[in-house]
Amino acid sequence: MNKDLKKVEKESRYLVKESKRILQKYNAKLSADQLEPLQNALNDLQESIENQKVEGSRQALKALEYMLDNDYRFARKSVMREWAESLIFALVIALFLRTFVLEAFKIPSGSMIPTLLVGDHIFVNKFIYGVRLPFVGKRIMKWNEPKRGEVIVFAYPHDQTKDYIKRVIGLPGDTVKVSGQKFFVNGEEIKQGKSEKFYYTDETTGQKRASLLYKTNLGDSLFDTIYEPGRHHPEVEYVVQEDHLFVMGDNRDNSADSRSWGQVPFDNIKGRAILVWWSSASHDGMRLGRIGHLIE
């Protein structure tokens, strides 16, 4: 197909689509005699293009366009209707994606520092664990379960209107023990590397806070956790209920999590945090280096 014929074929796509729509929609409303001219004009155009007749295709295209603009004008969609349908279709697709596939969240607190900073904008994969009905909050289909070490977004068990983000520590049936700056899952101590000093800005006071940072290995995830030096941690043990998760923030001494308000029901899980797509902080300014940062 030469260049000129390709141009005609490209220009004809919408008119061909519109002609077929009218023929199908008005098949029972108009007689065969009334629809025959349109069908013939459409056939002429398609045959000319198929036989690679450039001039014949141009003439057939003009004839079809004239016929649609005049004889079948009553059946054509208006520009406003085309625009409205496109907009509605785009909104439906966006709503579907946001409800069931991918949603953007903004980190409101420092409970996940240093993994996630206050002001980080993240994407959450809502499809990875199954399908959860909006408003009802019931998971109707499930094909994956959260793993230890994954960062999840969920509806706060005591107020379904609030979304929380934490890291999965314990799965159903697990025994989680917290002892000082160490923690254990089913009697096995979770590996944490040698501590190093770490400083961050407290979003409530604007002051720099000193902490100890550990490289932590849990499940398939390697991530950073921080503790406040000299903070007392009594030994506490928890048993994870069926269809529940035990979660904790990476900022261990500044996180309200399963240690204080309980465990997360599976039905509350909205999805897995996967990516920081934009990063800013109220005190330290934009962190360009964290844009596109994968969450582990």
Residues annotated as catalytic are 111, 166
Query: Which residue reads 């029972």 in tokens?
Result: 28
CB-based contact 54:5 (threshold 8 Å): yes
Query: Which residue reads 């309980």 in tokens?
Result: 262
Token pair of 81 as six digits: 């209707």
Q: What ranges make up the beta strands (E) of 23-162?
A: 102-106, 121-125, 130-132, 139-142, 151-155
Distance CA 183, CA 84 (A): 56
Distance CA 95, CA 86 (A): 14
Q: What ranges make up the beta strands (E) of 157-268?
A: 163-170, 175-179, 182-185, 188-189, 191-192, 196-201, 208-218, 221-227, 236-239, 244-248, 264-265
Q: At 245, phi and psi to the nearest 5? A: -130, 150
Distance CA 45, CA 16 (A): 9
Distance CA 32, CA 112 (A): 69
Three-state SS for 230? coil
Distance CA 222, CA 295 (A): 10
Token pair of 183 as six digits: 């923690």
